[in-house]
Every structure is written in C-alpha cells, then in structure tokens.
C-alpha cells in the first residue's frame, strides 16, 4: 500500500482529545471559525461540499453537498429546519462512529455545526444509540464545553449564527438507524420508518425541513472547509473522494477501525492493516460493507474499496464494515445469524418484511440445524425476491433479501449439502446453556 495522508483519526490517537483544550490545541474548531469569521455563506459551504466529492458514510453513499442543497430555499420557506445526526450505528460489523464519538467528540460537534450552518438549521439532534453510553457521555460533555466557549448556542463566535445541539438516546432498535425511523424515534414514537416522499428535506422532524447525516459524514466537513474542496477531491478515486473509515472484523488477526483513502484494495486492508486471516487460514467469504449487502467470495478480495468498484461486483460501499470469514466457517450458520438479526430488527409494519424476515430466519435455522428440506434453497430465493427491491416502506426488507440472494447464489452447493446430509458438516460444536423465551 502506498503511503497516504491521514486526518480522520489523527486527533483520536491523542490522549485527552475529547476535551476542548486539547482539541483546540490540535487545530480544532478552525473549520467552524473559517466559516463564521471568514464570512462564508451557507451556499458557499454547500458548494464546497459538493466540489469536495464527499459522499455520505451512513450506507447510501449519496453526495453530501447535494443532500444539503435539497433543503428548501429559506426565502420561500421560513420554517424552522433541523439537522439530525445519525449516531445510531448498528449495522453489523460497523463500529467506526463510536471511535469518533469517544475519542474525538468535538470533531463531531464542529462538523455538525458546519452542516447546520450550511442548511440553516437552528438545532442539531444527535441521535446516539442507547447502548453507546461512553460515546454519548463524551459527546454530551463536548457540547457542554462548546456551549460554555460560545461554540454552541446563541451567536456562535460572535456571529449571527445561533444553533443548539441536543443529544437524544435510542433504545436498541436497529431500524432507528434508517433516517425516517430515526425521526419517528426522535419524536418519541415507535421507530416506524415513514413512506417517502415526502423526503426529510421537505418534511422531516416535526414536519419541518430536515437533513439527516451520519457521524462520519459531518465529521469530514471541518477538514474540507479548512483545507479546501480541491484538497479533498484530490484524494481517492473518480467517484469516491477522501479518506474513509473501515471497520474490519471477524476472522482476522488485527480487527480494528482503520483510516484509508478510497482506492486501496480490500486485500491491502486485510493483509496490511488487519494482519491477514487468522490462524493461517484462507478467506472463504466476506461481507464487504456490513451485513445488508451481498456476500463476496474470498477470491473477490482484490476488489478496490470504493463505490464504483463494489457496485461492479454486485455489492455497495455501505458503512465500509468488512466482516471476514475463514474457510472453516459454515455459511449456513452465518446466514442463520444474519437472518435472525433481520427478523429481530424488522419494525413489523410491512407484510413482506415482517413475515419474510421471520420466514428466512426459520429456513436458515432449519438448514443450519440439520432440518433443511429439499425445496428450501428455491424457497429462500423466491422469498428474497418477493421482499425486494423497493417493495416496502424502507430498505430493511431489501437488506435481509440481498445477503440471502448472494448466499443462495454463491454458496448454494454448501447449503444443499447441509440439507442432503441432514447436518451442517462445518458446524462448530455448540456450547450448552439453558434458554428461556424465544430463540
């Protein structure tokens, strides 16, 4: 791997950076100062963001500048507008935003303020998943410090810009990481995703124009403002700009969260960052980007990690969470775990998703436990096709269907073998423990 410039995790490595004094010493809040004291207009900030080529890091990979520009013209639509920060990180394999919140919370606050300024939001709600207690507390402390330093609240840094930052806690529902589910949850309701349109920019939180951005996305904003869009646009590949955080977990020697420029291959990350597959084994399969994407075979490890290259292999960049599986792994077991997850997390609104996720889970469970039936693989495929694409209110149904379809395609023989033998030849010995309630 070529040497490359880092910036996303640099401060995080410094002890005490979660406190304002250290953060400022390391150059913190320079981006916000440049915006507010340098007289940048919101439109100029949006423009910088567009030119930088930054794409959302929450999964969909949409242009951040474009998203901000979807907010209605303030002259024509004077409604209060909101920025919601999606810190409900819960895509399996994903643990990058947590690092930023724990180790560099002011970076998130600063990024949020710049985003809020660009979209003329008067309040930011940071929706932190309920289990992230330390990250929540760190960000909350950062907001309080920032408020005391006139970096949050009225007339920030003496400018006309006023903006409040509030923290909100989730409570363990994966679906609240979906932007409209998140908004429902922020409003104190069940986290049922909303039918789009209307899109959040037209009618989001409390029916007001709202932008929802991922933590890592806005975290990039201060760097881009400070160093310029051209600097950012020079890093990466044609349609994927800058550095990004990759989480790598599973069967590797050094799992972790690493900062990389777009354009490196998955193999480079696996070998040079994560120290290769553990126990000297071979890579059998991997989720390139969280569980809501197509599985890839070990041989696909040469893929370049960026939006276009992954799309070309039938996957997507998602949250850039690589989950690696060695050649001792049972794919029936992997899919049992994945399908169980989606069954557990379906909000239950849409028929296809509520019933389909359960159905997939039941079938994979049976296959993995030696009760597979001859038509199971065909049924899995038919069900997954009935659940996606775009047949439901949100994408959770798709998220369950996509890995299913890839497993059926790539590992059909292995699944059929489990069914034929009435046992999973690759099953790990199951430790015994008593259970109450549902599986």
Q: Which of residues 143-182 bind another protein (CB under 8 A)?
A: 164, 166, 168-175
Contact status: 330 vs another protein (CB under 8 A): no
**Region near another protein per CB under 8 A, out of 6-14, 144-152, 255-263, 303-311:** 255-263
Please state the closest distance from residue 328 (CB atom) to another protein, in A: 10
Nearer CB in complex with another protein: 262/287:
287
In the region spanning residues 34 to 73, those forming contacts with another protein, defined by CB under 8 A, are none
Among 91, 259, 300, 414, binds another protein (CB under 8 A): 91
Contact status: 432 vs another protein (CB under 8 A): yes
Among 95, 119, 332, 367, binds another protein (CB under 8 A): 95
Please state the closest distance from residue 314 (CB atom) to another protein, in A: 19
Contact status: 271 vs another protein (CB under 8 A): no
CB atoms within 10 A of CB 154: 10
Contact status: 344 vs another protein (CB under 8 A): yes
Please state the closest distance from residue 434 (CB atom) to another protein, in A: 4
Contact status: 257 vs another protein (CB under 8 A): yes
CB 357 within 8 A of CB 342: yes
Q: How many residues bind another protein (CB under 8 A)?
A: 93
Among 65, 92, 111, 242, binds another protein (CB under 8 A): 92
Contact status: 369 vs another protein (CB under 8 A): no
Would you list the DSSP string of 330-389?
-HHHHHHHHHHHHHHH--S-SHHHHHHHHHHHHHHHHHHTT---TTHHHHHHHHHHHH-S
Please state the closest distance from residue 376 (CB atom) to another protein, in A: 8
Contact status: 343 vs another protein (CB under 8 A): yes
Among 33, 48, 89, 414, binds another protein (CB under 8 A): 89
Please state the closest distance from residue 246 (CB atom) to another protein, in A: 10
**What does the block give as tokens for 151?**
């970096």
Please state the closest distance from residue 279 (CB atom) to another protein, in A: 12
Among 53, 59, 242, 247, binds another protein (CB under 8 A): 247
CB 284 within 8 A of CB 326: yes
Find the Cα–Cα–Cα–Cα dihedral 35, 65, 214, 150, rounded to 10°: 10
Contact status: 329 vs another protein (CB under 8 A): yes
Contact status: 384 vs another protein (CB under 8 A): no
Please state the closest distance from residue 350 (CB atom) to another protein, in A: 5
Contact status: 420 vs another protein (CB under 8 A): no
Contact status: 351 vs another protein (CB under 8 A): yes
Among 325, 401, 402, 407, binds another protein (CB under 8 A): 325
Contact status: 90 vs another protein (CB under 8 A): yes
Residue 13 backbone phi and psi in degrees, to 5: -80, -10
CB 235 within 8 A of CB 243: yes
Nearer CB in complex with another protein: 237/362:
362
Which residues fall within 8 angstroms of residue 18, CB to CB, at 6 or more apart? 102, 103, 104, 105, 106, 138, 141, 142
Q: Rounded CA gap, 174 and 258, in Å?
A: 24
CB 276 within 8 A of CB 391: no
Among 347, 405, 415, 419, binds another protein (CB under 8 A): 347
Would you list the DSSP string of 79-143?
---EEEEEE---STT--HHHHHHHH-HHHHHHHHHHHHHHHT-SEEEEEE-TT-HHHHHHHHHHH
Please state the closest distance from residue 415 (CB atom) to another protein, in A: 16
- 409-420: b or e for each residue (b if 16 or more CB lie within 10 Å)? ebbeebbebbbe
Among 210, 352, 404, 406, binds another protein (CB under 8 A): 352
Which residues fall within 8 angstroms of residue 172, CB to CB, at 6 or more apart? 129, 130, 131
CB 363 within 8 A of CB 355: no
Reduce the DSSP state of residue 274 to 3 states and report it: coil
Q: Rounded CA gap, 312 and 314, in Å?
A: 5
**What does the block give as tokens for 46?**
């949006």
Nearer CB in complex with another protein: 168/241:
168
Contact status: 392 vs another protein (CB under 8 A): yes
Please state the closest distance from residue 22 (CB atom) to another protein, in A: 23
CB 248 within 8 A of CB 272: no
């Amino acid at each position: 791997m070529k040497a490359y410039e880092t910036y996303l995790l640099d401060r995080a490595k410094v002890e005490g950076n979660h406190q304002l004094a250290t953060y400022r010493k390391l150059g913190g809040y320079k981006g916000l100062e440049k915006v507010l004291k340098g007289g940048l207009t919101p439109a100029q900030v949006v423009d910088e963001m567009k030119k930088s080529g930054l794409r959302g890091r929450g999964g969909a990979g949409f242009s951040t500048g474009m998203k901000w520009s979807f907010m209605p013209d303030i002259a024509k639509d004077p409604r209060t507008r909101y920025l919601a920060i999606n810190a409900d990180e819960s895509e399996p394999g994903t643990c990058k935003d947590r690092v930023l919140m724990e180790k560099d919370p002011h970076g998130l606050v600063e990024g949020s303020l710049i985003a809020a300024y660009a979209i003329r939001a008067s309040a930011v709600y940071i929706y932190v998943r309920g289990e992230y207690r330390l990250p929540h507390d760190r960000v909350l402390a950062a907001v309080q410090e920032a408020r005391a330093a006139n970096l949050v609240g009225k007339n920030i840094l003496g400018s006309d810009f006023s903006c409040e930052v509030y923290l909100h806690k989730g409570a363990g529902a994966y679906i609240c990481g979906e932007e409209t589910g998140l908004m429902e949850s922020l409003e104190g309701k069940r986290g049922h995703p909303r039918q789009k349109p209307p899109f959040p920019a037209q009618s989001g939180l409390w029916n007001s124009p709202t932008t929802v951005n991922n933590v890592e996305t806005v975290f990039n904003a201060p760097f881009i403002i400070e160093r310029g869009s051209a600097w950012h646009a020079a890093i990466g590949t044609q349609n994927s700009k800058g550095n990004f955080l990759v989480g790598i977990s599973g069967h590797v020697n050094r799992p972790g969260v690493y900062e990389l420029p777009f354009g490196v291959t998955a193999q480079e990350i696996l070998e040079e960052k994560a120290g290769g597959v553990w126990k000297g084994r071979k890579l059998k399969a991997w989720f390139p980007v969280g569980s809501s994407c197509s599985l890839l075979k070990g041989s696909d490890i040469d893929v370049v990690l960026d939006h276009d290259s992954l799309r070309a292999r039938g996957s997507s960049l998602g949250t850039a969470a690589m989950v690696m599986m060695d050649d001792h792994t049972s794919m029936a077991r992997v899919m049992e775990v994945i399908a169980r997850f989606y069954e557990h997390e379906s909000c239950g609104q849409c028929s296809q998703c509520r019933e389909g996720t359960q159905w997939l889970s039941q079938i994979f469970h049976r296959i993995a436990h030696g009760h597979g039936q001859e038509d199971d693989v065909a049924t899995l495929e038919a069900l997954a096709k009935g659940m996606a694409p775009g047949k439901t209110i949100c994408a959770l149904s798709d998220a369950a269907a996509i890995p299913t379809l890839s497993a059926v395609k790539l590992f059909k023989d292995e699944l059929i073998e489990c069914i034929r033998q009435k046992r999973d030849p690759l099953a790990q010995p199951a430790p015994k423990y008593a259970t109450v309630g549902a599986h």
